[in-house]
Amino acid sequence: MKSESKLEKILTQGIFAFTGELGPPRGSNVETIREKAAYLKGNVDMVNITDNQTAVVRMSSWAASIIVLQQGIEPNYQMVCRDRNRLAMQSDILGVYAHGISNILCLSGDHQQFGDHPNAKGVFDIDSIQLISMVKQMRDEGKFLSGDEIDTPPKLFIGAAANPFADPFEWRIQRLAKKIEAGADFIQTQCVYNMNKMREWIKIANEEGLTEKVYILAGVTPMKSLGMAKYMQSKVPGMDVPDEIIKRIEGVERKKQAEEGIKVACEQIEEFKQMKGVAGVHLMAIEWEHKVPELAERAKVLPRPQV
């Protein structure tokens, strides 16, 4: 084992993984974290703790990760390249491991222009692929980026993101290969709505032998409403929502749109369970954590394994 990660144990045992997500609060309110965490506990194997997502200031992801860990849930500490230079990154990596966190997700981060401080100076000292390779070096060689020795290296299970839907499509597999080469142990994809494209992407990943080198967790986000579906289709960068999804949500009466969204998500999860090269699902129920118990139940992924 590369780490003490529960996710790593589940994946290496060949169990279909099911992970969730929790956004830290816009303040120091610990109760809201605990409330959200309670819905996730026992229903997912690990919870991603987002890092100032959409470039809006929130409680730091490492702090929220520790609170989640104290609730008996395994966090996946997300780290973006936007807000920290290589010094801050390495020290935070040491810090989270010291607090018992075993997973990290290495991301570029949404550009600051999207957020609540659009004129902030973006750091982007290193990029997400360089971050992956830095974490791997820290873990496997016990060395900082500078080459200096680390006293007690951080044994983290290293995650990365992949967006099979962004341009240029042909290059997306190459980029996945670069992330694997850099040291990614697992991948969590962008929210999948375009299943045709996802099938094609996974097929190529299988053919290139990439799915043997990395565990791919397919991203699923249930649509809560027609408004959300339309927003995701037109406003969220790198999101690919086919018209048939919009039509399906549109085709039911307003009160039943959320139900239809859940149905779509469950159908996707069923297909992912069978899809060669997919090792699990990452459920991003954005501000819908209270629906996770129902979603997990209906997706037939319960009970979660005790490993």
Partner 1 sequence: MVKSKRKPLNEIMGSIQAYSRIFNIGCGGCASVCLAGGQREVNALNSEITAELKSQGLHKQIDGYTIERQCNNQFFQGLDEIVQKYDCLLSMACGAGVQFLAERFPTKPVFPALNTISIGIDRDIGLYEERCRACGECVLGYTGGICPVTRCAKSLFNGPCGGTNKGKCEISSEIPCAWQEIYVRLKDQNRLNDIRKIRPVMLWQNQVQRMTVQESYRQRYAQS
131 in Cβ contact with 89 (< 8 Å): yes
Sole binder of partner 1 in the list 12, 60, 71, 130 (CB under 8 A): 130
Site for partner 1 in 230-269 (CB under 8 A): 237-238
Sole binder of partner 1 in the list 9, 99, 178, 230 (CB under 8 A): 178
Question: Residue type for 6, please?
Answer: K
Angle between helix axes 61-70 and 30-40 (nearest 10 degrees) is: 60
Give the position of tokens 């609060």: 25
- Greatest Cα-to-Cα distance within the chain, rounded to the nearest angstrom: 62
Q: Does 120 participate in binding partner 1 (rule CB under 8 A)?
A: no
Preceding peptide of 293 cis, ω within 30°: no
Nearer of residues 65 and 190 to partner 1, judged by Cβ: 190
Interatomic CA distance for residues 139 and 133, integer angstroms: 10
Nearer of residues 57 and 145 to partner 1, judged by Cβ: 145
Query: Among the candidate windows 6-14, 39-47, 176-184, 202-210, which touches partner 1 by CB under 8 A?
Result: 176-184
**How big is the chain by its Cα radius of gyration, in Å?**
18
Residue 27 carries which DSSP code? S
Q: Does 126 participate in binding partner 1 (rule CB under 8 A)?
A: yes
Query: Among the candidate windows 1-9, 61-69, 175-183, 243-251, which touches partner 1 by CB under 8 A?
Result: 175-183
CA distances from residue 10 to 5, 14, 168, 187, 307 in whole angstroms, order as listed:
9, 7, 33, 14, 7
46 in Cβ contact with 103 (< 8 Å): yes
Query: Among the candidate windows 2-10, 40-48, 174-182, 201-209, which touches partner 1 by CB under 8 A?
Result: 174-182
Angle between helix axes 169-182 and 195-207 (nearest 10 degrees) is: 50
Sole binder of partner 1 in the list 14, 72, 147, 168 (CB under 8 A): 168
Site for partner 1 in 19-78 (CB under 8 A): none
Task: Please give the size of the binding site for partner 1, defined by CB under 8 A.
Answer: 36
Question: Which helix (H) or strand (E) element contains residue 199?
Answer: helix 195-207
Interatomic CA distance for residues 190 and 172, integer angstroms: 12
Closest CB 256 distance from partner 1, rounded Å = 31
Sole binder of partner 1 in the list 129, 184, 228, 292 (CB under 8 A): 129
Binding mask 85-104 for partner 1 (x = CB under 8 A): -x------------------
Q: Residue 70 corresponds to which tokens in the numbers above?
A: 């104290």
Query: Among the candidate windows 17-25, 38-46, 118-126, 248-256, which touches partner 1 by CB under 8 A?
Result: 118-126
Q: Does 127 participate in binding partner 1 (rule CB under 8 A)?
A: yes
How many CB atoms are closer than 10 A to CB 258?
Answer: 18
Give the binding site for partner 1 (CB under 8 A): 81-82, 86, 108-111, 113-114, 122, 124-130, 133-134, 145, 161-163, 166-168, 171, 174-175, 177-178, 181-182, 190, 237-238
